[in-house]
Amino acid sequence: MHLHIRQTVTQKLWYRPDIDGLRAVAVLSVVLFHYGAPIRGGFTGVDVFFVISGFLITQTLAAEIAAGSFSIIGFYDRRIRRILPALLVMLAASLLAGALLLSPGDYTTLGTTAAMATFGVSNFFFYDHTGYFDRTSDLLPLLHTWSLAVEEQFYLVWPVLLYGLSLCRSRGLMAAALAVIVVAVCAGSIVYFRVDPKGAFYLAPPRAWELAIGALLVFLPPMRRAAGEIAAVAGLILIGIGFTISPAKFPGEFALYPCIGAALIVWPRNGQTTSSEVLGALAPIGLISYSLYLWHWPIWVLYRIYINGGLPGTTEAAILAIISVLIATLSYRYVEKPFRVRRWKPLQTVGVGIAAMLAMSAAGFSITAANGLPQRLPAEAQPLRDLTTMWDWPCKEATIDKFGRYCVFGAPWETARHKSMIWGDSHAEHIAPIIEAASRDPDRSFLVFAGCSAVLGDGNFIIMIGNPDYPQRCQRIHAGAMTVLEDSAIDQVILTSSWLELPRRIGNDDERRGAEAMREALAKLVGQTSIPGRQFILIGGEPELPLQVVECAHARLAGLWRAPCEAGLGSTDARTLLQRSAVVDDIFTELARTHPNVATVFPARRLCRDDGCDVSLDGEFLYRDPSHIRRNLKPQTRRDFADRIGLTAALNRQ
């Protein structure tokens, strides 16, 4: 049965050091990319891994099918012994390190991702919560497990599908069927990338063609030596081109470069080629590539967390790389290799593997259920234990006509004698508790109309990575806000936003053009919505802090294990901040000069001096993250903050 398949695959089961060499190229490119080397497309090494995996796994499966010895249990026995032990050791070590380094909020995330990575589904978490190239992704210790999840999901389906294809009883038909699958899924992935770039990156279906192209190679005739020489060189060139690809363009059609390049190298050939011999010299690194991939990222991220979110220098990066290689070597020698030797029957291996997975998953989810074990922190640090807690502030919601439900505080919106509208992005939400503490009018109601800056949506737009609908959203919010402002009872409009980067982003890196567009938008807004008795308050930005400053302050208060750090903003940073703020401040000042009903508040000017900026008040650290004030500050701190920045006077002027 299936003699033609047996003849095709058995000749390819010998060890190929060039494939391990290609693994070395793939893992080194990923490590260099993650460790800050100037190789902007180094992440495409993962795609090379996918092609290699598809080829090697399919080669073994096809041989078993041809020999009549194929077994699903046997397949998962091998996968468990190959993948699980080293993965579980890395996950356990990450959880232990996280207990020392991470805040409860971040530790909760680590617990969740560890549990999901155990069962090969962490890619769904990262798809839902972040983008691979976002700043927020930089400090997730288990982000790299998304690729393992994609592989394992592919191999849930692939053995059965391959067995079904083998019934074709023709190598040519199998190759043709696989080619159709590769082309169809690849085309679908390219189209899907335009609709959902993050999904095309993280999810298994859009990535399946990359593993399938490796599988296809098993059923193609071997190349002649001369053709193999040319193909291998072409493959290396294509992989090299992949290393130059911008993350913003990936995957889509640009994934073809590393995948076709890897396929040309992996494609079986008659006889050794020069390129194969060169790659073979890298085989020792390829042997530890799986462990190196597992360990390099958590080592890098956990060290970054230790230095409070900063970026390691060149020497530090080199030391971390050496540590990663050493740990990977130990993992390969004492974890991977021993478990590759079959000690139990396949069914026993699968049973023990599932039990180990359940145990690790239970450990991860127990951390999640315990909210990251906040009892690790002293009582005074509890208000800072996670981002959600620092954003906590009770606000009743009210239905505002057709616009949905919005946060409303103060007097009831429907019956209030005086109404204020706070319009802006997330800064409208973080300033709301401070406004509540500062307001002295018991008959005033405040509506928080948050979601987008008031200068966007009416001709001005910015691009938000990972949020392609943001321009349309701003357009809807702007139109809705203008309709709400038709209510003549609204006698106070408070405009706030994350202003600092808007001139540059609106002007597509032309700050002067963007600033002029902002000035025109604000003047138009005030002109169109001014009515007798209506006042406008323009609130400038608070000092934006480096991530290291926020991380340092939170970690110091929480007693976490971190490097010594400075939890403040020095004089140089303060001067730079005030210089950057001047562009927007000048727009506000000019608008107030020409419109008597416009008042201005400049928090950065009030909080910063020549020797630095205040980041704490009344013994409380003010910041939730680099650009947002905590909403769970004590009431007195909120009142004092409003007084300090001049907001109280602006709100209560007659």
401 pLDDT higher than 80? no
Whole-angstrom distance, CA of residue 264 vs CA of residue 619: 63
Residue 269 DSSP symbol: B
pLDDT tens per residue across span 253-297:
999 999 999 999 999 887 777 888 889 999 999 999 999 999 999
**Structure-token pair, residue 400:** 């505002």
Q: Is the peptide bond before 206 cis (omega within 30 degrees of 0)?
A: no
pLDDT at residue 404 greater than cutoff 80 = no
Q: Which of 514, 510, 649, 536 shows the shortest CA–CA distance to 588?
A: 536
Predicted pLDDT at 7: 44
The predicted model gives 528-549 an average pLDDT of 92
Each residue's pLDDT tens digit, 322-371: 999 999 999 999 999 999 887 788 899 999 999 999 999 999 999 999 99
Q: Give pLDDT tens digits for 472-498.
A: 889 999 999 999 999 999 999 999 999
DSSP letter assigned to residue 253: G
Residue 411: pLDDT above 90? yes
Taking alpha carbons only, the member of 442, 428, 432, 596 closest to residue 526 is: 596
232 and 275 in contact (C-beta within 8 Å)?
yes
Q: What is the mean pLDDT of residues 2-25?
A: 70
Separation CA 88–CA 117 (nearest Å): 9
**Beta strand ranges found along 366-443 (DSSP E):** 396-399, 405-410, 418-424
Q: Please, which residues bridge with residue 628 across strands?
A: 625
Other CB atoms within a 10 A radius of the CB of residue 650 amount to: 19
Please state, in angstroms and rounded to a whole number, the distance separating the CA atoms of residues 418 and 491.
7
| Across 60-69, 188-197, 566-575, least confident range | 566-575
The two three-digit tokens of residue 166, written as one number: 């083998």
- Sign of the four-CA dihedral 429, 433, 439, 444: positive
Reduce the DSSP state of residue 417 to 3 states and report it.
Answer: coil
Each domain of the chain, given as residue ranges in start order, spans 3-10+36-376, 394-543+580-607+635-651
Contact indicator for 515, 507 with CB cutoff of 8 Å: yes
The reported pLDDT for the residue numbered 204 is: 95
Q: What is the DSSP string of 567-608?
A: -SB-HHHHHHHHHHHHHHHHHHHHHHHH-TTEEEE-HHHHHE
CB 506 within 8 A of CB 517: yes
Structure tokens at 150: 């994609």
pLDDT at residue 22 is higher than 90: yes
Phi and psi at residue 449, in whole multiples of 5°?
-100, 80
Chain length of the chain: 654
Residue 107 backbone dihedrals phi, psi, to 5 degrees: -70, -35
Please report which residue ranges of 461-561 form alpha helices under DSSP H: 470-484, 502-506, 511-529, 547-558
- Give 617's strand partners: 620
Q: What Cα–Cα distance (Å) separates residue 191 from each residue in 260, 468, 489, 630?
A: 19, 15, 50, 41
- Is residue 99 within 8 Å of 107, Cβ to Cβ? yes
Q: Which two tokens stand for residue 354?
A: 């599932």
Average predicted confidence (pLDDT) for the chain: 91
Comparing C-alpha atoms, which of 635, 604, 625, 649 is closest to residue 433?
Answer: 635
Query: What pLDDT sits at residue 565?
Result: 82
pLDDT of res. 518: 94
Q: Global pTM?
A: 0.86
Selection from 339, 332, 277 nearest residue 16 by Cα: 277
Is 48 in contact with 55 (CB distance < 8 Å)?
Answer: no
CA distance 85 to 339: 7
- What is d(CA 273, CA 281) in angstroms, rounded to the nearest whole number? 13
Class of domain 394-543+580-607+635-651: alpha beta
Flag whether pLDDT at 6 surpasses 60. Answer: no
Contact 558, 378 (CB under 8 A): yes
Identify residue 475 by its one-letter amino acid code: Q
State the helix-helix crossing angle for 225-242 and 256-266, rounded to 10 degrees: 150
What residues are paired with 338 via a beta bridge?
none
Q: Which two tokens stand for residue 168?
A: 């074709």
Q: What is the pLDDT of residue 11?
A: 44
At 174 the pLDDT is 83
d(CA 294, CA 297): 7
Whether residue 425 has pLDDT greater than 80: yes
Check: CB of residue 219 under 8 Å from CB of residue 175: yes
Confidence of residue 571 (pLDDT cuts 50, 70, 90): low
The reported pLDDT for the residue numbered 70 is 87
